[in-house]
Chains A and B, each alone.
Chain A
Amino acid sequence: MIFKYLLQLGDNALILGHRLGEWCGHAPELEIDMALTNIALDLTGQARNLFQRAAEIEGKGRTEDDIAYLRDAWDFRNVLLVEQPNEDFAFTIVRQFFFDTFNYYAHQELTKSKDEWLAGFAAKSLKEITYHLRFSSEWMLRLGDGTELSHQKLQTALDELWMYHGELVQPNEVDLELAKSGVGVDLEKIKPLFNEKIEEVLSKATLNIPTDTWMQSGGKDGKHSEHLGYILADMQFLQRAYPGVEW
């Protein structure tokens, strides 16, 4: 069960890291290009640690690379939010803000995990994640409370992505079981903090908070949107076409 839990955490980081990497060379400013790719590298690093640990626990001789490159879409456990396309800078920031908020509270809880490795991993990652949240929150405020155009673009992104934010704190079977044993995060516990932070930043950013309560879900159980297939095609092509190739 902990193997699946590590994949849930790791897949979120890997897929979002890949999405952010797509901005490399295309961001609106050189400085933002570097900020986004720094975050991408942090996330990819976290995914590597989690996959290494997962492979070790599984004990079937797989490596981090096997886990990243040789699984198909239905074996990925990331939430639907992180596989959503970059669209424009506003979409990227809203997606990041939702994820960072969740990730921040989740890792804060994970530092208290009964699993020593996870607690250590969380303490290390939390420093990176704290900066990610600072970055995305600042940009929510800048764009939301910025010009008429930036406000409108951010509001559009928020309305479109809203239905994906609930899955982050909606426990599946794996979440429930690991919360019970004190290894994983009790999502019920961080849900109010998560919602409060989102509400606080959205109001400060002068955005209209959507009232829809229906949320998309399924990613954590391997039911993905069509976007994931395209990401994997990009990400896995080389290892699939030339198995074991190194450079």
Chain B
Amino acid sequence: MKKDWPLWEVFIRSKSGLSHKHVGSLHATDEVMAIENARDVYTRRNEGVSIWVVESKYITASDPDDSDPFFEPAKDKVYRHPTFYDVPDEIKHM
């Protein structure tokens, strides 16, 4: 039975204004059931105000073997971080 139920990835927005965040996955036969299952499995403790689900097969992930050429080059390029500016005191929330 389990084999017949596709896997879905679940994203929850914890409150208005924040973005949806990946929280886990679950099994469901279609998108309606996936949303309901997500509600029952992932929002029982007041975790969210909005749910997105997407069937796992539609997610394309980067290959772990590519991590050197993908991510290594960014590690020594500190000048890409916007940390070399003097921020005036009046500017809040930086």
Q: Collect the chain B residues with CB atoms within 8 Å of residue A135's CB.
A: 36
Q: Is A29 interfacial (CB 8 A cutoff)?
A: yes
Give residues 24-40 of A contacting B (CB, 8 Å): 28-31, 34-35, 38
Distance of B41 from chain A, by nearest CB (Å): 5
Q: Is A138 interfacial (CB 8 A cutoff)?
A: yes
- Interface readout for A83-119 with B: 1 if CB under 8 Å, 0 if not? 0000000000000000000000000000000000000
Distance of B75 from chain A, by nearest CB (Å): 40
Q: Are A138 and B1 in contact (CB under 8 A)?
A: no
Q: Is B92 interfacial (CB 8 A cutoff)?
A: no
Q: Collect the chain A residues with CB atoms within 8 Å of residue B26's CB.
A: 30-31
Contact among B1, B2, B33, B40 with A38 in the assembled complex (CB-CB below 8 Å): B40
- Interface readout for B26-53 with A: 1 if CB under 8 Å, 0 if not? 1111001100110111001000000000
Q: Is B70 interfacial (CB 8 A cutoff)?
A: no
CA distance A35 to B37 in the complex (A): 7
A-B contact count (CB 8 A): 31
Contact among B28, B33, B40 with A34 in the assembled complex (CB-CB below 8 Å): B40
Q: Collect the chain B residues with CB atoms within 8 Å of residue A131's CB.
A: 39
CA distance A131 to B41 in the complex (A): 14
Q: Are B44 and A34 in contact (CB under 8 A)?
A: yes
User: Which residue on chain B has the smallest CB distance to residue A139?
Assistant: B33
Q: Are B36 and A38 in contact (CB under 8 A)?
A: no
Q: Are B37 and A31 in contact (CB under 8 A)?
A: yes
Contact among A29, A34, A35, A38 with B5 in the assembled complex (CB-CB below 8 Å): A29
User: Which residue on chain B has the smallest CB distance to residue A28?
Assistant: B1
CA distance A1 to B32 in the complex (A): 43
User: Which residue on chain A has the smallest CB distance to residue B5?
Assistant: A29
User: Which residue on chain A has the smallest CB distance to residue B8?
Assistant: A31
Q: Collect the chain A residues with CB atoms within 8 Å of residue B2's CB.
A: 29
Q: Collect the chain B residues with CB atoms within 8 Å of residue A35's CB.
A: 36-37, 40
Chain A residues within 8 Å of B, Cβ to Cβ: 28-31, 34-35, 38, 131, 134-135, 138, 142
A-B contact pairs, 26 of them (CB 8 A): A28-B1, A29-B27, A30-B26, A30-B27, A30-B41, A31-B26, A31-B27, A31-B28, A31-B37, A31-B40, A31-B41, A34-B37, A34-B40, A34-B41, A34-B44, A35-B36, A35-B37, A35-B40, A38-B40, A131-B39, A134-B36, A135-B36, A138-B32, A138-B33, A138-B36, A142-B29
